[in-house]
Amino acid sequence: MTLDEECKGCLYNSQLKKVERSESDKNKIEEFKARVRALCENPPKAYCAPLLMRDIDGVHRAIFGHGIDYSAEKAMFNSAVLKMEEGLYGAIISSPDPLCSAIKYAAAANYIDFAKLSDLNEGSIKTVEEAAAKTIPDEKTLAELKERLSRARTLLFVHDNCGEVVFDKILIRTIKALYPDIFVTSLVRGGEIINDATRVDAKFIGLEKYARVEDSGAAIPGTYLKEISKSALSLFEKSDVIISKGLGNLETLYGEGYDIFYIFMCKCLHIAERFGMAQWQTAFVHECAEN
């Protein structure tokens, strides 16, 4: 998906707020502001939001000597959701439709996004729970996923943000309980970028208990097929089922010719309009390869 005007202002404002809170050198902050403004005003053609965010982080590295640091936020959200995991998984697996229940939480958890919202805190988990209660996964898409999982041998799960990744883990646990013959591969980011999940985060939450963890080979808040590793790209070619979480993955993967089930929240107006939904509505969409 190409870069929307909404994305430019959103990324500029959210990352500037973060930098103003985290850094103290006013001259460097002003340089960061000027360079990011110029980047947002004149991005390369055919860009998408994840690539712009990657470049904003690169500007920060050039000026401050390191990337924009979300380690504290990542640890906070991962730890907070881990405390909920066993109770939530128990409620989901004993519900009338466990897969549907797990998808509700996975979709609502896409709210945890520091590229879009810079002022999230542990109380935001309550927002996730409230959104999950209101979520109604598309029945046709759910039926399609169940049918595909029933005959699949391999599942590729493409992860997005921290905190959210624990809800993804619960969804994977649910799938493994319902379809025990499926081998799951979890794909995380190839390096630190905003609050996206990496191998370090996957290890912290114990994701390897339920999936083989691989990384994309690229520190981009999405899965940009032109820059990920050959081994990561091969997962898209050989997996029977692919589930993609979040907007960064949606914006880099949608329309690239793969059969993918997307789970996300329409945090951006242009995304909501693209899929005929309301802003902040959760979405569960199936893109068939032939489309």
Q: Give the strands of the sheet with 282-287, arranged side by side.
A: 212-215, 183-188, 154-158, 241-245, 260-265, 282-287
Q: How far is CA 162 from CA 74, 146, 196, 204, in A?
A: 6, 26, 6, 11
The DSSP element (H or E) to which 215 belongs, if any, is: strand 212-215
- The set of residues, in sequence order, having a beta carbon less than 8 Å from that of 78 and lying 6+ positions away, is 162, 163, 165, 166, 201, 204, 205
Checking phi first, is residue 28 left (phi over 0); if not, alpha (psi -120 to 50) or beta?
alpha
Give the integer Cα–Cα distance in Å for 242 and 157: 6
CATH superfamily of 71-287: Uncharacterised protein PF01937, DUF89, domain 3 (3.40.50.10880)
Q: pLDDT (tens digit, 0 to 9) for every residue of the chain, 291 residues total? A: 667 777 777 788 888 888 998 899 999 999 999 999 998 888 888 888 899 999 999 999 999 999 988 888 889 889 988 999 999 999 999 999 999 999 999 998 887 665 554 555 566 677 778 778 888 899 999 999 999 999 999 999 999 998 889 999 999 999 999 999 999 999 999 999 988 999 999 999 999 999 999 999 999 999 999 999 999 999 999 999 999 999 999 999 999 999 999 999 898 888 999 999 998 889 999 999 764
Inter-axis angle of helices 49-64 and 5-22, nearest 10: 30
Checking phi first, is residue 112 left (phi over 0); if not, alpha (psi -120 to 50) or beta?
beta
- Predicted local distance difference test score (pLDDT) of residue 291: 46
Residues β-bridged to residue 239: none
Query: If we measure between CA atoms, which residue out of 245, 261, 289, 247 comes closest to residue 1?
Result: 247
Give the integer Cα–Cα distance in Å for 53 and 248: 10
Structure tokens at 233: 């790209």
